[in-house]
């Protein structure tokens, strides 16, 4: 299997930004696994499928035709990049992600992304479940307040509406669900470098992550 770097962490910890910057620097492919759960949550809501209808959701996950192209996310050919970034889609994602059957269905799809020269994968269970043999594992964390602030800025910049107080509450609720679910809960995998990004800039986080990557894989420097 091609080399893999996993970046796990809670919502808004900056893992998406770090993963794509790292992939760009290394010339590797990048997997945003959260987008898969967001796509499924969004599609289920749109199709009126209940978040506990395991059979239909797993079937939908199997049938989804997903393409990541030039920073856009296409679902059956339709550009849904913005639609899946809303808090509503994030909450729907967190609910469907708690179902073992759904996670199992998405496993093969995710593992198939590990192609040469390498893959940077971000999510909640990349280092613990999807790529347990990854060469480098990172766990990015930050306080709920800081993460809500970041999400607030992102949403406003994208022209979407946002409310800081409800964002903090939603982030806490989502954390709780992601950390306490029975299957693949959010937690730092064994051997991961834990980086608390609350008081760090993106460049500072990237510097620490790169230092670990070059320490383990010196041939990449």
Cβ proximity to ligand DC: between 171 and 220 the closer is 171
Contact between 147 and ligand DC by CB under 6 A: the answer reads no
| C-alpha closest to that of 102 among 6, 45, 36 | 36
Stretch that binds ligand DC, among 56-64, 86-94, 188-196, 209-217 (CB under 6 A): 86-94
The one among 5, 7, 73, 97 contacting ligand DC by CB under 6 A: 97
The one among 6, 11, 43, 128 contacting ligand DC by CB under 6 A: 11
Contact between 125 and ligand DC by CB under 6 A: the answer reads yes
* Residue corresponding to tokens 């040469």: 116
- How far are the Cα atoms of 103, 118, 129 from residue 134, in angstroms, in the given order? 19, 10, 10
> How many CB atoms within 10 Å of residue 144?
19
Stretch that binds ligand DC, among 22-30, 46-54, 87-95, 165-173 (CB under 6 A): 87-95
The one among 178, 189, 205, 220 contacting ligand DC by CB under 6 A: 178
How many residues of this chain interact with ligand DC, rule: CB under 6 A? 15
Contact between 14 and ligand DC by CB under 6 A: the answer reads no
CA distance 188 to 139: 6
- Token pair of 151, please? 């999400």
Q: Which residues contact 39 (CB under 8 A, 6 or more apart)?
A: 64, 66, 73, 75, 80, 84
Question: What own/partner pairs with CB < 8 Å and gap ≥ 24 does 150-157 have?
Answer: 150/12, 150/14, 151/11, 151/12, 151/87, 154/85, 155/85, 155/86, 155/87
Contact between 137 and ligand DC by CB under 6 A: the answer reads no
Contact between 141 and ligand DC by CB under 6 A: the answer reads no
Cβ proximity to ligand DC: between 46 and 214 the closer is 46
Contact between 174 and ligand DC by CB under 6 A: the answer reads yes
CA atoms within 13 A on the CB side of 167: 23
Contact between 189 and ligand DC by CB under 6 A: the answer reads no
Ordered strands of the 72-75 beta sheet: 66-69, 72-75, 78-79
Contact between 94 and ligand DC by CB under 6 A: the answer reads yes
Contact between 42 and ligand DC by CB under 6 A: the answer reads no
Residues that bind ligand DC (CB under 6 A): 11, 33-34, 37-38, 90, 93-94, 97, 123-126, 174, 178
């Amino acid at each position: 299997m091609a080399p893999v770097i996993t970046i796990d962490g809670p919502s808004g910890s900056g893992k998406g930004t770090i993963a794509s910057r790292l992939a760009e620097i290394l010339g590797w492919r990048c997997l945003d696994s959260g987008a898969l759960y967001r796509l499924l949550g969004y599609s289920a809501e749109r199709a009126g499928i209940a978040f506990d209808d395991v059979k239909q959701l797993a079937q939908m996950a199997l049938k989804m035709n997903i393409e990541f192209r030039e920073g856009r996310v296409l679902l059956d050919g339709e550009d849904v990049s913005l639609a899946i970034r809303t808090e509503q889609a994030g909450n729907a994602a967190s609910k469907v992600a708690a179902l073992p059957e759904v996670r199992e269905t998405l496993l093969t799809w995710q593992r198939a992304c590990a192609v040469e020269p390498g893959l940077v994968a971000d999510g909640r269970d990349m280092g613990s479940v999807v790529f347990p043999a990854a060469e480098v594992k990172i766990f990015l964390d930050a306080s709920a307040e800081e993460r809500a602030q970041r999400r607030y800025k992102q949403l406003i910049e994208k022209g979407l509406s946002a409310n800081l107080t409800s964002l903090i509450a939603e982030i806490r609720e989502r954390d709780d669900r992601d950390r306490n679910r029975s299957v693949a809960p959010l937690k730092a995998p064994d051997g991961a470098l834990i980086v608390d990004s609350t008081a760090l800039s993106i460049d500072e986080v990237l510097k620490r992550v790169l230092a670990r990557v070059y320490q383990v894989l010196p041939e990449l420097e």
